[in-house]
Structure 1
Amino acid sequence: MLQSTTVVLAIAHLAAAVPTFNSANLVSNLQNAALDEISGLAASRIHDGILYGINDHTSSTVENKVYAINANTGALAATLTITGATNWDWEDIAVGPCPDSGSCIYIGDIGNSNGISQNTVYRVKEPATLEDSSVPYLDKLQYRWSEKESECLMVDPAGNAYVVSRVQGGHGLMAKLPSFGWAGKAVDVTVTSRLSTTTAHHDPLGCDISPDGKAMLIKAKDDIYYYSVPDGDYVEAAKGQATTVKYDMKEHLGESVAWTAKGDGYYTVSEGTYQPIYLYSVVGTVVVG
């Protein structure tokens, strides 16, 4: 009886309830020509319906700007110029807690331009009012690791930042960035693992942790992968089973995925001018594993 019970408990431990999502819903199209190379997307935690976006180094105008976008209309609600920061190759953006209180925007200058990566994450306080303005960054984290580039930055509910390298075949190296790196000196990455997924391209291109911290999405060129993270160990979870979730609209230059602020779906948008914003909403759950 004890052996049988142990087996049942082991099976239950491996099984996980994974949300199912509906097909892509076109919610709007980007309305401003400045939004021409959106490489990262994140949902505001204090402004309803607002997505923060950044352009990467291939944009016609490479600037140190974060764009606040009305997801429902595609209109540009505000442009935030991040004073003191440089856009060498901004590739992803996330929203998470500030070190003291409130909500912060995390900007990943983590891409590879001309064979060089800055390996830098900026942290900026979410503004209480959305208007065109200059916003200084609070602090920055610079890191050293073995990888050439990353296009994936995410932040958990405790404020820990993670990056995943972009490599051929998709087995990117996921790293938890040391929190003491915010003190100012460049730090070495030590907590890492390889993604379990295999792709046919140079992946992944984007990622995000759910607002409740229980799951993460990793976006490749052709697929979006869902990882269940019940215990908050994202690096360990990256080695485990991933579930492919809906990605109907195979965007030609799709590099962005972002959970909604409530965690009840995710947005995608492609690089290029006047691109559509798609929303995939949760419609149920399925047990896997």
Structure 2
Amino acid sequence: MRRLLPAFLLLLLPAFAHGARWSEPDIAGLVTDGAIDEISGLAASRTHPGHYWAINDSGSSAELHLVDGRGRHRGSVPVEGVPNVDWEDLSSFELDGRRYLLIADTGDNGGLRQELQLYVVEEPASLDQPARLAWTRRFRWPDGPRDCEAATVDPVAGDVLLVSKKRVPPELFRVPLRGGDAVVDAEFLGTLRGIAQPSSGDLLKNPVYGRYRAQVTGASLSPNGRVLAVLNYRALHFLVREPGGSWRDALEAEVSALALPWLPQAEAVAFDADGAGLAIGSEQLPSPFLRYRVKPAPR
């Protein structure tokens, strides 16, 4: 399966601190199961080591799907009392000694939704039980509707971080992870600098798809809470927060970029539970299930 990959150079990411670099992307497997035919979000499971939870896009059932490290479907569980209007991202986290998953029902291709939902469910301990809703965060954008396919949880700060999809440059917002039933306004933190936009050549080659290549489709926060990975169709981008620093401060620097090999529609990214790797999934079948690993820099 490695023949599917073009030649790929290792990229050193100075901004990703700690002297680390990413390995060559590994095609861990090929996603072919119809149960996960439109993966829009991935999150590392903390209950099933080495596995990931996945969600499908709008029009699909309200289910969580467990996949192994090769992208093979291992089972599904329903999410009780939660509709799938337009699920777009998934995040796993621990809080007060309990394991949770956040489902971001934030997709809005038409820019029409006045209110969005963030559903927090308890991570299922087995595939024999449904995922139970723990709480819901209702929010709206401060200046009107927008599409958003990227969300992740910062449990230490008690925030959900969200990145807009179609705005140029992409915008970073925060919403409190916990709170009451009232609808809250997302807080604008700033814009992500340095995400390359389609060139004239991209638009000439494919006038329709070319303009979407730079739009943000997924996000994941490293377990140490310092590295925000932001995905689009052409690259992974990394925004790094200094120890004790804020995301507003981090936005003063340009993001680092790690070019992706070809994928039909990269829409889901997840840090491994230990932070030593990343998984990337696609919204089409069949598609490669990509894995990157952090390699220590030579001494």
Measure how far apart 1:26 and its partner are: 1.1
Distance 2:282 2:16 in 1: 33
Measure how far apart 1:270 and its partner are: 1.1
Measure how far apart 1:233 and its partner are: 2.3
Structure 1, unmatched stretches of 5+, are 1-13
1:102 partner amino acid: R
Q: Is the 8 A contact 1:42 1:95 kept in 2?
A: yes
Distance 1:161 1:252 in 2: 28
Measure how far apart 1:283 and its partner are: 1.4
Give the secondary structure class of the aligned counterpart of 1:236.
Answer: helix
Give the secondary structure class of the aligned counterpart of 1:47.
Answer: coil
Distance 2:40 2:186 in 1: 24
CA gap of 1:15–1:272, structure 2 versus 1, over 3 A, is closer
Give the secondary structure class of the aligned counterpart of 1:78.
Answer: strand
Q: How does 1:128-147 map to 2 (within 5 A)?
A: 128-129=125-126, 131-145=127-141, 146=143, 147=145
> Please, which of 275, 278, 282 is the counterpart of residue 270 of structure 1?
282
What per-residue deviation string (whole Å, max 9, x for no partner) do you get for residues 221-269 of structure 1?
211111222235234323422111252x221211111111111121111
Q: Is the 8 A contact 1:18 1:228 kept in 2?
A: no
Q: Is the 8 A contact 2:119 2:137 kept in 1?
A: yes
What per-residue deviation string (whole Å, max 9, x for no partner) do you get for residues 118-143 of structure 1?
421100111222x1432221001111
Q: How does 1:109-124 map to 2 (within 5 A)?
A: 109-117=105-113, 118-124=115-121
Measure how far apart 1:115 and its partner are: 4.0
Q: Is the 8 A contact 1:27 1:71 kept in 2?
A: yes
Q: Tell whether 2:90 aligns with 1:89.
A: no
What per-residue deviation string (whole Å, max 9, x for no partner) do you get for residues 87-120 of structure 1?
110000011123x421110000000155433421
> Please, which of 104, 122, 132 is the counterpart of residue 108 of structure 1?
104
Residue 215 of structure 1: aligned partner: 227
CA gap of 1:91–1:255, structure 2 versus 1, over 3 A, is same
Q: Tell whether 2:159 aligns with 1:160.
A: yes
Q: Is the 8 A contact 1:41 1:54 kept in 2?
A: yes
Q: How does 1:1-289 map to 2 (within 5 A)?
A: 16-17=17-18, 19-57=20-58, 62-72=60-70, 74-98=71-95, 100-117=96-113, 118-129=115-126, 131-145=127-141, 146=143, 147-158=145-156, 159-169=158-168, 171-180=169-178, 182-200=179-197, 201-202=211-212, 203-230=215-242, 231=244, 233-247=246-260, 249-285=261-297
Q: Is the 8 A contact 2:265 2:283 kept in 1?
A: yes
Q: Is the 8 A contact 1:70 1:77 kept in 2?
A: yes
Distance 2:81 2:296 in 1: 44
Residue 12 of structure 2: aligned partner: none
Residue 208 of structure 2: aligned partner: none
Measure how far apart 1:184 and its partner are: 1.2
Q: Is the 8 A contact 2:195 2:255 kept in 1?
A: no
Identity %: 25
TM-score normalised over the length of structure 1: 0.84
CA gap of 1:111–1:15, structure 2 versus 1, over 3 A, is closer
Distance 1:253 1:239 in 2: 29
Q: Is the 8 A contact 1:175 1:192 kept in 2?
A: yes
Distance 1:137 1:18 in 2: 40
Give the secondary structure class of the aligned counterpart of 2:195.
Answer: coil
Give the secondary structure class of the aligned counterpart of 2:196.
Answer: coil
CA RMSD, Structure 1 to Structure 2 (Å): 2.2
Distance 1:150 1:97 in 2: 24
Give the secondary structure class of the aligned counterpart of 1:28.
Answer: strand
TM-score normalised over the length of structure 2: 0.81
Distance 1:280 1:54 in 2: 21
Q: Is the 8 A contact 1:142 1:187 kept in 2?
A: yes
1:22 partner amino acid: S
Structure 2, unmatched stretches of 5+, are 1-14, 198-210
Deviates further, 187-196 or 112-121: 112-121
Give the secondary structure class of the aligned counterpart of 1:134.
Answer: coil
Q: Is the 8 A contact 1:111 1:150 kept in 2?
A: yes
Distance 2:34 2:97 in 1: 35
Distance 1:223 1:166 in 2: 14
